[in-house]
Amino acid sequence: MGRTEAVGLWSVLGGLLLVVELAASWLGTLSVERLLGRLEDRFALLTGGCRSTLPRQRTLCGMIGWSYELCAPSERLLWERLSVFSGSFTLDAVEEVCAGDGLPTHRVMDFLDRLVAQSVVLMTKGDGPCRYCLLETIRECGRMGVAVSGEHSRLSRRHRDFYVGRAE
């Protein structure tokens, strides 16, 4: 595997070391191109970890599910609601879009801070306000929770209204 292919694979897998390890186990069977093509359904593909590792480290779902279970219920709820953001976002956006119905606005910052400390949410600092993001794999797990809760439409409207308001 060349450097360009390795960088492409690392990028698609979101830089999560366990995910890269699980994907690398397929390189004896699949070419890098075929592996990249099959990563659309990474939860189904990345299931063959080493049998000597802990169960939570054998599959992508196991790893993320274990992280999810370590979160408090309010942190899980915020994680799910953050999945409505496809790119980076600010604290203001999180408070406006995700607060309410079990997440008091004045506590959102605390819950976000905990998710950053647990490496569920990534933070970047620049010239402006801090920005946050979810790796795509982590975001997909949150989206599954939102789908189960039935909140997706409401969150999508709040997300749209927040950014339309900013644009106006």
Q: How confident is the model at residue 88, as a pLDDT? A: 93
Domain coordinates in residue numbering, the chain: 3-65, 82-167
Residue among 55, 60, 52 at smallest CA distance from 21: 60
Q: How confident is the model at residue 128, as a pLDDT? A: 85
Q: Cβ atoms within 10 A of the Cβ of 53, count? A: 12
Rounded distance between C-alpha atoms, residue 60 and residue 137, angstroms: 9
CATH no. for 82-167? 1.10.10
Helix, strand or coil, per DSSP, at residue 122: strand
Q: pLDDT of 7-40, one tens digit each?
A: 343 344 444 444 555 566 556 666 767 666 655 5
Residue 162 to residues 4, 74, 93, 96, 118, Cα–Cα distance (Å): 38, 22, 7, 7, 27
**Which amino acid, residue 119?**
S
Whole-prediction pTM value?
A: 0.66
